[in-house]
Structure 1
Amino acid sequence: MELLKLEGVDVKIEEKQILHDISLKINKGETHVIMGPNGAGKSTLGHAIMGNPKFEVTAGRILYKGEEINDESPDKRAKAGIYLSFQNPLEVPGVSLSNFVRTAGEQISGERIKFMQFRRKVEETLDILQMGKEYADRDLNVGFSGGEKKKSEIFQLLMLKPTLAILDEADSGLDVDAVRIVSEGVREYKENMDGTLLIITHSTRILQSLKVDVVHIMVNGRIVDTSDASLIEKINAEGFERYLANA
């Protein structure tokens, strides 16, 4: 089933055009990867799909489950099952990680979540990510290290179980052990929650333990190549130089 489709999408921030004529299609259950050098526009694509008003779609259409969502607000897109993890997760003083997730889950489902059942799920998910139970009661991302913030994002992913997860630089700044743990969380979502993934990265570390269906290369705001997972090995060997030279 076709889940997400972009048709000739242009995006600008204020008066600066960032993305040009972006077209792609993601079917339910697939894992797609957007790779490219820093500044290529990869994060802009994630924010545009999520509906961040700072990122204005000036041409083209974004369709989700067959319906155009260009004019839908971010909260409506979230309720429809789209999740975006941030490259630089926000700190929210005064709101615990567990309360944030519980409130988000209730808003998405429109139903009250039973406390004890929720708490058990919280503890199980923290165990998967090798996070102590005390994290549930800490203010969201406040005082968290970079690795802890990334784990917090994956914790939210596993708790909310969106239909489409857009992961923006989920392995950025992480050591080897943290990358492994985050990768395990992503694999849990993909394999046991029938998740669909759009992974935005300039690295290949988080991809090593995942079955990738399609890889897109983005340079200067354009998708310049699309292929299967074999393209990851080419990037590992050659980098993005040949794409930059032809841009």
Structure 2
Amino acid sequence: MATELLRIEDITAGVNDKTLLEHIDLTIRTGEIHVLMGPNGAGKSTLGNVIMGHPSYKVDHGSIYFLDKDITELATDKRAKMGLFLSFQNPEEVPGIGLENFLRTAKGAVKGEEENVFIFNLALKKLMKTLAMDHEYADRNLNVGFSGGEKKKSEILQMLALDPKLAILDETDSGLDVDAVRIVSKGIETFHNDSNALLIITHNTKILESITPDYVHILVKGHLVANGDASLIRTIEKQGYAPFIEAEEKLA
């Protein structure tokens, strides 16, 4: 039986006194793949950051529950230890920290115990092979000198290594060519099982050609204007976001 992982109740949030999300409700259970779509500037990345507890974003109303615990005021690192993961739309370069060391340290922090170097490296090599990543990247500084596609693969590698309960992928397909999208999709398929869940944030349908979501949510100007199944994706492919923008204007 599916277990509720995330429950967002009537969240209104923003940054610098500017409201970016209004009255958002969303529930994600184990085994599910959710897709959050919408035009640029809709608030999609904001929602991901609010779920993860980014300190720049303030929740003005509502609550966020993860594994039945109210995490609305919980620090980001504690959310990560509970099993939340957020990939970045534009991954940062971190000079002086090797990819392998970063992942091993992060894994140990999440588990609460130090990782065995040998065992971790064997597992990491296997995961990197899944993503068609040369193992030499493990010794390179985190994302430094990586191409856009390599940075996105690095984010998926982090997801696979940390094995969270809920992974939020923010525009993972942005800027990727067809082959890179296929590899990233394979990584997502490798990760997903009946014990975890995914929230994929995107504004186009490229990555969804090989992933079938259980639920699709459309966000426009900070409002969830539609919730449904994969048929919503076909509506967007045929008509764009115009029908949903009109729906939001009626709400405003």
| Smaller-chain TM-score bracket | over 0.9
Please give the alpha-carbon distance, in whole angstroms, between the structure 2 residues aligned to 1:125 and 1:2: 28
CA displacement, residues 99-120 of structure 1 (integer Å, 9 cap, x when unaligned): 0000000001011211111111
Please give the alpha-carbon distance, in whole angstroms, between the structure 1 residues aligned to 2:31 and 2:75: 24
Report the Cα offset of residue 236 of structure 1.
1.1
What aligned pairs does 1:1-247 form with structure 2 within 5 A after superposition? 1-191=3-193, 194-246=195-247, 247=249
CA displacement, residues 61-103 of structure 1 (integer Å, 9 cap, x when unaligned): 0010111101100000000000000000011100001100000
SS at match of 2:234: helix
Report the Cα offset of residue 211 of structure 1.
2.7
Please give the alpha-carbon distance, in whole angstroms, between the structure 1 residues aligned to 2:59 and 2:28: 19
Please give the alpha-carbon distance, in whole angstroms, between the structure 2 residues aligned to 1:244 and 1:198: 22
Gaps of 5+ in 1: none
Please give the alpha-carbon distance, in whole angstroms, between the structure 2 residues aligned to 1:216 and 1:44: 15
Cα-Cα RMSD: 1.0
SS at match of 1:111: coil
Please give the alpha-carbon distance, in whole angstroms, between the structure 2 residues aligned to 1:45 and 1:211: 22
Task: Give the letter aligned to residue 225 of structure 2.
Answer: V
Report the Cα offset of residue 194 of structure 1.
3.8
Task: Give the letter aligned to residue 66 of structure 2.
Answer: Y
Report the Cα offset of residue 205 of structure 1.
1.2
Structure 1 window deviating more from structure 2 (92-101 vs 203-212): it is 203-212
SS at match of 2:245: helix
CA displacement, residues 140-183 of structure 1 (integer Å, 9 cap, x when unaligned): 00111100000000000011100000000000000000101011
Task: Give the letter aligned to residue 155 of structure 2.
Answer: E
Task: Give the letter aligned to residue 137 of structure 1.
Answer: D
Task: Give the letter aligned to residue 167 of structure 1.
Answer: L
Please give the alpha-carbon distance, in whole angstroms, between the structure 1 residues aligned to 2:40 and 2:207: 17
TM-score (norm. length: structure 1): 0.98
Q: How many residues align?
A: 246
Please give the alpha-carbon distance, in whole angstroms, between the structure 2 residues aligned to 1:178 and 1:150: 9
SS at match of 2:192: helix
TM-score (norm. length: structure 2): 0.96
Of all paired residues, the percent bearing the same amino acid is: 52
Please give the alpha-carbon distance, in whole angstroms, between the structure 2 residues aligned to 1:80 and 1:207: 28
Report the Cα offset of residue 135 of structure 1.
0.3
User: For the structure 1 residues 26 and 3, does the alpha-carbon distance in structure 2 shift closer, same or farther, using more than 3 Å as the test?
Assistant: same
Please give the alpha-carbon distance, in whole angstroms, between the structure 2 residues aligned to 1:203 and 1:145: 21
